[in-house]
Amino acid sequence: MDKKSFISQFDRTDIRVESSTRVYDGFFKVDEVVLKHALFAGGESEPVKRELLERGDAVAILPYDPKTNRLIFIEQLRIGAYRSSASPWLLEVIAGMIDKPESAEEVAIREAEEEAGLTIERLVPMLNYLSSPGGTTERLYLFLGVVDSEGAGGIFGLPQEQEDIKVHVIDFDESMALLQQGIIDNAATVICLQWLALNKGRIDSELEVC
């Protein structure tokens, strides 16, 4: 099968939402959804109940200095890693929620400044993906951010958001080693690094021309 030609036999019209009730309304929002959907064998399912985390969409940026072949990451505490990681302070790409009337590109530029003190010279769209569609609506938009890494580093974050962020500047080859060793193990960062590894030759050539 040609993977480019895949189109599901179903679409949004093959789902019938019978009810949607907000059961938690805090920093995160949780809806209880009851639905029926078309079946591959024909007909319609019985009512299916699902809890759905509504958290909006997000942006992630991997800052890259093509002149020095260095990448910039941030390190911060992630409570979701507390149970299964040796250290819940993770090495990550810069990220932020699209929770204002801004485009994904505008959020990327703002978050790079807030979380790492960086000025993005050029944004290169990577891809976008659903983070965990079995339970949340969130879609992440990934960008490569071309930066000058000279002088990068330090501690950043917004006190009013209780952020405590340390900036790291790491060579590309060392970054890939951290990925292969499993030290970098959060989804957006893994995907960004894999995308850059696949596209680095093309990107470096394009940036040379520019």
Residues carrying an active site annotation:
161
CA distance 172 to 179: 11
Length reported for the chain: 210
- Quickly tell me which residue has 């974050």 as its tokens: 157
H helix or E strand, kind and range, residue 198: helix 187-209
Q: What is the DSSP string of 93-136?
A: -EEEE--SS--HHHHHHHHHHHHH----SEEEEEEEEES-TTTB
- Dmax (CA) for the chain in angstroms is 62
The token duo for 85 is 């990681």
